[in-house]
Amino acid sequence: MTATNRSKIVTPPNHLKMKAKGIPASSGEVAIRKAEVAMKKISADIAATLFQDLDNIKHALEDFRQKHPVPAPEKTQLYHLAFETKGLAGSLGYDLIGDICASICEMLDKCSQEHKNYLAGLVAHIHALQAVLTSGQNATTSTGEAQAILAGLRQIVLKMSEENI
């Protein structure tokens, strides 16, 4: 085959590569540092939001405590706030807070309309939330302390639901 009969391989232009050629190699590191600084700035806001949610949950527990019977425990303001905080905390990386709020929701799902027997368990959950938030150890569920907290709360939910069958 002669040189004139050979097929020519054509590589189409890569516009993304051309755009990236003008970006310094260290820009990824710069972006990461900027993101870390931004996260530090909003972490105080996140903590303040979670403390506000805790206060709202405490007030909702007081309202829940005073109403006997409630039409449906899983449709109360306490359930709504715990569910909302569970989602917020989980999406922001505060898994332990999210898991405690999920346990509150689970307890309310099992709660009867005449709920006086569940109040001590709900109070224990609120105390756990407060302890975790004030300790600053609220981001992960992988520590032994976090596992112990969650195991204790699971036992409370189980015991309350068994006693009130």
Decide: 39 and 53 in contact? Cβ < 8 Å.
Answer: no
Q: Which residue has the tokens 């309350």?
A: 160
Closest CA to 78 of 39, 126, 34, 33: 126
- 66-95 pLDDT, tens digit each: 887 777 888 889 999 999 999 988 888 788
- Domain positions in the chain: 47-163
Q: Which residue has the tokens 């709504």?
A: 80
Q: How far apart are CA 74 and CA 19, in angstroms?
A: 54
- 38-66 pLDDT, tens digit each: 877 787 788 889 999 999 999 999 998 88
Mention every residue, 6+ apart, whose C-beta is less than 8 A from residue 76.
60, 63, 64, 70, 108
Rounded to two decimals, the pTM is 0.71
Token pair of 80, please?
């709504």
Q: How far apart are CA 101 and CA 89, in angstroms?
A: 9
Q: How far apart are CA 75 and CA 82, in angstroms?
A: 11
Indicate whether 155 pLDDT > 60: yes
Q: How far apart are CA 78 and CA 68, in angstroms?
A: 14
Q: How far apart are CA 108 and CA 113, in angstroms?
A: 10
Question: What CATH number has the domain spanning 47-163?
Answer: 1.20.120.160
Q: Which residue has the tokens 């109403």?
A: 67
Of the pLDDT bands very low, low, confident and very high (cuts 50, 70, 90), residue 15 is low
Q: How far apart are CA 46 and CA 87, in angstroms?
A: 13
**Single-letter amino acid, residue 12:** P
